[in-house]
Structure 1
Amino acid sequence: MPDIQYLGHACFRLRGRDGIVLCDPYNRTIGIDMGRPTAHIVTVSHDHPDHNNVAQVRPMRERLFVVEGPGEYEVGGIMIGGVTTYHDKLKGAERGRNIVYVIHLDEIVFCHLGDLGHELSQSQLEAIGNVDVLFIPVGGGETIGPAEAVNVISQLEPRVVIPMHYASPQLSFDYPLEPLERFINELGHKEVSPEDKVSLNASNLPAEGEETRLVVMRSSV
């Protein structure tokens, strides 16, 4: 039963029976400090300070296993697939590539979209495959915004959606981000109660064919 902890911005800590995966650790220059979280594995979607502060993560073994590119990885029983996408709508001409990670942890498939800047192609959808839990940027700026995020959710049809990379009073960027409420409204929800920590297993996921569940997480930092 993996536990999900939200460390703010686009950073999540996934703890399963075979280890801990930390996604997109950020630098404190964005206005918040994630502290010194522990992990066995770190995934990095792209080399920007708000997604690639590996040095601040404490390894739980002799060394930290860092995944920062496309391909298939197996680390201590945890399977991770990296799929190449882009940080803009021009196939990386403006901001470069972005790696989407598909993480298999305790029979649940997590997908972290990083700073995805476009809707997904058919080949990218096939490479990603079936998704149980989707971490998706929704704030626009240098990623997809609320309306595009809803379209990507329709493409992937995950069982659970957890939004990330949206405006908050603490964050400091050179570009504006959309508030979370705009995405929630775009998705057709009126109000959502934030959760501190989420634990998932096959029995408490929506069944196949049921409506995707929206989960909003409160940052622990």
Structure 2
Amino acid sequence: MLRSAVLTCAVLASAGIVFLQVPAFAQQPAVSQCQAIAQALPDAGFVQLASADPFASSLQQAAARDQTVAITFLGHSTFLLETPGGVTIATDYSGFHRPPRPPMVATMNKAHSTHYTLTPGPEIAHVLHGWSDDGNAADHDLVFGDAYIRNVPTDIRAGYGGAMEPDGNSIFIFEVAGLCIGHLGHLHHELDETDYAEIGRLDVVMVPVDGGLTMGAESMVRVVTRLRSALILPMHRRGPPVESFLGLFGPGFDRTVADSATVTVSLRTLPKKPLIMVLQGL
């Protein structure tokens, strides 16, 4: 499926190179800034860009302007993301935990009714299901305002028998203001190297900490550790206290309880050491 076409640059920080997607009129896919291995993007061309080049990457521009994204925990697995350009995105949107105004974009997963709704309302411009009903994996690549939204499908347990349904869940990734923000959804299994390559870099990750409804706490800790995100936001807490989850992390992680349900983050304010932040309302 052809992806939304835009002129997008991605920075390979380690090499000091930028790879440039061809202009929108060529109908080429949008390029993810968050995928760490540029060679995995076969439609990308490599160019060297001077600092004064008018097509300097959006990542560099966002860093220069220190643009911020507001992330508010609304409840369960629903967060509200507000971009510098005014785009609002609700994750795992079911209608139970509503923002003050309807979001412009809603992402959903189908593990339980608390993660989706089939009647989201016509005022939501884009409703992105993390599953597909046609036997194929969901495939979203949406450029909307200043946000680029894509998904990485994962498998999900079908009912209580333990059988797995391929591609029944999606990890949604929001690329905005130079940041890579990921929502793990109702993740039921540890990720493999193919998954991690598809995800790429995640500066911020929203992680279920239920300890078993998604998958065991030890497995989830391994996923979080492997992602190496700067900011970890727990969600989907049922049963064990969040302290049980926090206690499984070693000295390589800092921990804090926020005094608000909202955190604002930018490239410049990302913590230097991985930080697990418990937002109010969890």
> Who is 1:43 aligned against?
107
User: Which structure's relative contact order is higher, taking Cα pairs within 8 Å and 6+ residues apart?
Assistant: 1
Given candidates 6, 10, 17, the residue that maps to 2:77 is 10
> Who is 1:139 aligned against?
210
Give % identity. 25
| TM-score (norm: length of structure 1) | 0.80
Deviation per CA, 1:40-80, whole angstroms, max 9, x where unpaired?
Answer: 11111336311003645683xxx421111333221223111
How far is 1:190 from its partner? 9.2
Alignment size in residue pairs: 199
8 Å Cα contact 1:162/1:215 also seen in 2? yes
Q: Which runs of 4+ in 1 moved over 6 A?
A: none
Q: Which stretch of structure 1 is more off in the superposition, 68-77 or 101-110?
A: 68-77
Given candidates 212, 217, 220, the residue that maps to 2:279 is 217
Inter-partner Cα distance in structure 2 for 1:7 and 1:156: 24
> Who is 1:203 aligned against?
268
Higher alpha-carbon Rg: 2
Given candidates 106, 129, 135, the residue that maps to 2:200 is 129
| TM-score (norm: length of structure 2) | 0.64
Segments of 5+ residues of structure 1 without an aligned counterpart are 168-176
Give SS of 1:39's match. Answer: coil
Give SS of 1:182's match. Answer: helix
> Who is 1:20 aligned against?
88
8 Å Cα contact 1:45/1:100 also seen in 2? no
> Who is 2:133 aligned against?
none
Structure 1 residues 151, 37: closer, same or farther in 2, change over 3 A? farther
Deviation per CA, 1:91-128, whole angstroms, max 9, x where unpaired?
Answer: x8346611001101221110000000111011110000
> Who is 2:249 aligned against?
187
Pairwise CA RMSD of aligned residues? 2.6
Segments of 5+ residues of structure 2 without an aligned counterpart are 1-67, 130-137
